[in-house]
Structure 1
Amino acid sequence: MTGTGPAPIRVLVVDDQDIVRDGLVTILDLSPELAVVGEAATGERAVELAGETRPDVVLMDLRMPGIGGVEATRRLRSEQPGVAVLVLTTFDDGDSLRAALAAGARGFLTKDAGRVQLVDAIRSVARGGAVFSDSAAGQLVRAFVGGGGADSTTGTDSGPPVRREAHAGTGPVDAAALRTPFPELTPREREVLAAIASGASNAEIAASFFISIATVKSHVNALFAKLGASSRAEAIGLVRDRLSGY
């Protein structure tokens, strides 16, 4: 008797280097929950092939001939809003990360990521999450919050020690209420923003969602970057302002 499990996550692999692309396909083929539906060596071909294969996740290189990964991501997200783009790159400088994030990428990994980390990242972005390597998260923190951390708890991460910032929430906020005023955020990012606006700390958010504090930090960094917020207080202010308009 055979059972039917969930459909595999459909992945399009985009990289201009044949050896890298072949290696990625080989790695992903080892996971039964993933299905590689196509390969592309240019951004133009990635957009074209995505229209033909309808992937769930596009594994995207940044530096390629032609339009490159950032513009390809922008076109993909415009034509297929439901597709998740996960950047896999050697170049995790702040400018590249900001550009790709603004174009609609949901995550960034460097090419030294291991197989388990890569598969976990694909699974996470396919479900609406955001994933950042330690180095990418550090770049985002430095780029968007001027070197300060986005965490509200004490401790250290890949960047400098973060400071505790005094802030008060708006009172209980339902993530569903943030869907219209914050369309640029993923569902999980809206849940995290709602928790922040309600006054929850990163540790409390992690416990509530049954995820690690590191994952919470990734979501916080991502939503701060998308909103241009430099602190929890600014994010809470944005929630107040946008909710007041609806």
Structure 2
Amino acid sequence: MEELHSEEEIQGAGADRCRVLLVDDHPHGREGMRIILSEDGYFQIAGEASGGEEAVRLAGELEPDLILMDIRMPDLGGLEATSRIKAAQPGIKIVMVTVSDDIADLFEAIKRGAQGYLLKNLSPSAWLDYLRAVSLDQAPMSRELATRILHEFLPAGGGSPAPSAYRAKPAKRAASSSLTPLTEREKGILERVAHGESNKEIGAVLGISEHTVKNHLKNILQKLHLDNRVQLTRYAFEQGMMDRG
């Protein structure tokens, strides 16, 4: 995986250490996460939880910056724990940790407010790169995930239209009132985010800095009342923007 952020970039952004809560019902699972994070001084273990109920309680007590949440746990699953934590503390970032790339679980996690997911079999460097990016609100979505969302997410309200149905309505798409809060620049950035481009890639194409891209993304999320890039991709799909070049 491409290194997304250097030490200089993080320090230049004025970031403090990222306090992390580890949640897994298996001790060896928490140990594995602890070992990976110990390789990077940017991360600080704020606490550990062996189940969803404990995770909800510790999230309130410790107020971590980031939670690594196992999906499958016996007492209270990671999905429900995520819902409860996000309802009480929406600013906490949550990344789901799983052994399988189950698209249904992933979509459900995103709908409940999670910022992303990590496979347990990824390399430590991939974990660290991704978690740094998440902590700085700069994690790009993989193109594979963007494609899956394009084909799997349906418009709000149900139904099963094919993506081609959206491509057949350019006039309606252009007139969509849902996009009117966005400037032309913001619409262009939204399209590129939805196609899986990173802040760096977007900045290079548009001739602006990564910092400027990040500021635009914050504005877009606020205007659309969304939380993350995956939700932006779903939104772009529902607006018929995914087929644009």
Instruction: Show the 5 A alignment for 1:105-124.
Output: 105-124=114-133
TM-score, reference length from structure 1: 0.64
Unmatched 5+ stretches in structure 2 = 1-10, 155-159, 211-216, 218-227
Q: Deviations over 1:149-190 (max 9, x none)?
A: 8xxxxxxxxxxxxx9x978767xxx99x56xxxxxxxxxxx9
Q: Contact conserved, 2:52 with 2:76, CA < 8 A, in 1?
A: yes
Q: Does the alignment pair 1:127 with 2:158?
A: no
Unmatched 5+ stretches in structure 1 = 150-162, 179-189, 236-246
* From 186, 202, 207, the counterpart of 1:205: 202
- What SS class does the counterpart of residue 55 from structure 1 fall into? coil
1:181 matched to which residue of 2? none
Structure 1: which 4+ aligned runs deviate by more than 4 Å?
130-139, 145-149, 165-170, 190-193, 196-204
Which has the larger displacement, 119-128 or 62-71? 119-128
Q: Contact conserved, 2:83 with 2:113, CA < 8 A, in 1?
A: yes
Instruction: Give, as a single letter, the amino acid of the residue that structure 1 aligns with 2:137.
Output: G
Instruction: Give, as a single letter, the amino acid of the residue that structure 2 aligns with 1:225.
Output: R
Tell which has more relative contact order, 1 or 2 (C-alpha 8 A, sep 6+). Answer: 2
CA distance in 2, matches of 1:17, 1:27: 16
Query: CA-atom RMSD, angstroms?
Result: 4.4
CA distance in 2, matches of 1:84, 1:63: 19
Q: Does the alignment pair 1:102 with 2:111?
A: yes
Q: Deviations over 1:82-136 (max 9, x none)?
A: 1001111123323211211111001112111111211122112222244556765
* From 48, 64, 72, the counterpart of 1:55: 64
Q: Contact conserved, 2:67 with 2:92, CA < 8 A, in 1?
A: yes
Q: Contact conserved, 1:16 with 1:42, CA < 8 A, in 2?
A: yes
Q: Contact conserved, 2:22 with 2:30, CA < 8 A, in 1?
A: yes
TM-score, reference length from structure 2: 0.64
